[in-house]
Structure 1
Amino acid sequence: MKLLVRFIDAFIGHNCKGNSAAVIEVDMPLTKQLMQEVATKNNVSETAFIIHNKNKYEIRWFSPLTEIDFCGHATLASAHYLFEENPELEKVVFITKAVGDITVEKQVDGAILMDFPKQEPDLVTSPPKALIIGLTIKPAEVYCNAQAYFAIYNSEHDVHTLEYTTSELIKLAPRDVVVTALSQEYDFVSRYFWPANGGDEDPVTGSIHTGLAPFWARRLNKNPLVAYQASERGGILDCLVDNDRVVICGRAATALCSSVTI
């Protein structure tokens, strides 16, 4: 059996290369083990498997290591693929297990708007030792949601220059780590480390901005916001907090079409 694979760069723009995702549309459900094997073989941050279900699409996301509950950049990539394949489509609804239905809309300028549940973090008064040891610069504050620990810094320079110890951060599983600060060029900047679930540093992480956007919107008393994820590839995300939802907008481009035999 041969599966067609589209490798799509998500959250690109302004010389940012974004985050690569593999998108595979299937006609029938595959086993979790098989999807994981394919994702491991693809070896990109996420592989999204989508299957048409009436007027919606079921979607599941896999890193090279495990199935992921919620992935923003692979959702953007999947929508980009569907809009390219079906030019008449203007809106897509994805069915997910962990975060409910996700509505995605194509904008007239080519950008893609995604409506996600808000996942604002809470303050952590006693941060885990592995978090403090695992980052070379101590954060000013630490917050947490179901996905990750949020290390808050007073300096954008700290976010850009800090280093991390994988063997310590992996102890925080199942949570990952995001480091963030105010930015001079954008509203805020971040980096994301996920050794327990996918890899060392993720290029651009759409899902974590459902926590970052409400955090910075409250602190800055500003909405909407423009975010930059400062990985080597980099990515720009336009964020709007709307009650219990976070709307994230970005752009994507197909980089490669290939196939995998299973």
Structure 2
Amino acid sequence: MQLEIFQVDAFSAEPFGGNPAAVIPLDAWLADDLLQRIAEENNLSETAYFVRNGEAFDLRWFTPAVEVDLCGHATLATAWVLFEQLGEQAEVLRFNTRSGELRVSRAADGLLAMDFPAKQPQPVDIPDGLLSALGLPGARALYRSDDFVVVIDDAARLDALQPDFAALSAFEVRGIAVTAPGRDRDFVTRWFGPRVGVNEDPVTGSAHTSLAPYWSERLGKRVLDCEQGGARKGQLQCEVPGNGRVIISGRAALYLRGTVFI
């Protein structure tokens, strides 16, 4: 069997930036264990698979270790492949996922805009060992949604983080986002997910379904300019329209197109 594969750098206008994702179109679903083994072999933070279903697409995402409920950058990569490589003519793509229907549309200036459900992170006490595992001396606050959201006040501290990933994997959340006001962005973030097989994700679109509502309320802004990453960074624009949704927009660039042989 041969499958077409695309590797796309999402949330970047050029290759070698943003977050790489593999995208594999399928005519019909393969066995789950085979989908997982392909994702493990790809060894990227996410491999996305899609199957056309009428006028929509069924979409699933796999890390090298597990299938996940929501992935922003691989959704952006999938939409980019459909629009730019496979000639999809629809103005809005509809994806059926484990997180409900997601829509991606062509926006201004070459951006792709993803319409995701918003999640309001809730304040929680900082558990023992979390800050030491991150290598942080302190934090302004901690919130929880799918992830822990650790808020700090100095963006410069983000670059210096050297987490203990084994210690972080003990916390029963999908991942840990550390976020701060940006110097030339509204906010900046790094995201760590050793529990789902991704020590650090360069750009985590799904995390911004919680980050954007927090920063929108704190800064009093509906449209936010954001950046995520450590050595490798990507850029996002987030809009919080107040209707329970978050619009996450970004660019993408093709790195590789090839064939998987199984």
**Is residue 141 of structure 2 the alignment partner of residue 118 of structure 1?**
no
Residue 88 of structure 1, CA deviation: 2.3
- For residue 81 of structure 1, give the secondary structure of its aligned residue in structure 2: helix
Residue 87 of structure 1, CA deviation: 4.8
**Is residue 169 of structure 2 the alignment partner of residue 170 of structure 1?**
yes
What is the alpha-carbon distance in structure 2 between the residues aligned to residue 16 and residue 3 of structure 1? 24
What is the alpha-carbon distance in structure 2 between the residues aligned to residue 17 and residue 254 of structure 1? 11
Matches within 5 A, 1:1-262: 1-13=1-13, 17-84=17-84, 85-97=86-98, 99-124=99-124, 126-137=125-136, 138-145=138-145, 147-243=146-242, 244-262=244-262
Report how many aligned residue pairs link the two structures: 259
Contact in 2 for aligned 1:16/1:236 (Cα 8 Å): no
What is the alpha-carbon distance in structure 1 between the residues aligned to residue 69 and residue 172 of structure 2? 14
More deviation in 71-80 or 83-92?
83-92
Cα distance change, pair 160–14 in 1 and its aligned pair in 2 (3 A): farther
Runs of 5+ unmatched residues, structure 2: none
Residue 32 of structure 1, CA deviation: 1.2
What is the alpha-carbon distance in structure 1 between the residues aligned to residue 162 and residue 132 of structure 2? 11
Contact in 1 for aligned 2:9/2:16 (Cα 8 Å): no
What is the alpha-carbon distance in structure 2 between the residues aligned to residue 88 and residue 61 of structure 1? 23
Contact in 2 for aligned 1:202/1:231 (Cα 8 Å): no
What is the alpha-carbon distance in structure 1 between the residues aligned to residue 234 and residue 140 of structure 2? 25
AA in 1 matched with 2:94: V
What is the alpha-carbon distance in structure 2 between the residues aligned to residue 233 and residue 150 of structure 1? 20
- For residue 163 of structure 2, give the secondary structure of its aligned residue in structure 1: coil
Contact in 2 for aligned 1:9/1:253 (Cα 8 Å): yes
Moved over 3 A (4+): 13-16
What is the alpha-carbon distance in structure 1 between the residues aligned to residue 91 and residue 31 of structure 2? 30
Cα distance change, pair 75–15 in 1 and its aligned pair in 2 (3 A): closer
More deviation in 101-110 or 196-205?
101-110
AA in 1 matched with 2:56: K
Cα distance change, pair 21–231 in 1 and its aligned pair in 2 (3 A): same
- 1:35-91 Cα shifts (integer Å, max 9, x gaps): 000000111110000000011000000011111110000000000000021252321
Residue 107 of structure 1, CA deviation: 2.4
Runs of 5+ unmatched residues, structure 1: none
Cα distance change, pair 63–127 in 1 and its aligned pair in 2 (3 A): same
TM-score normalized by the length of structure 2: 0.95
Over aligned residues, Cα RMSD in angstroms? 1.4
AA in 1 matched with 2:30: L
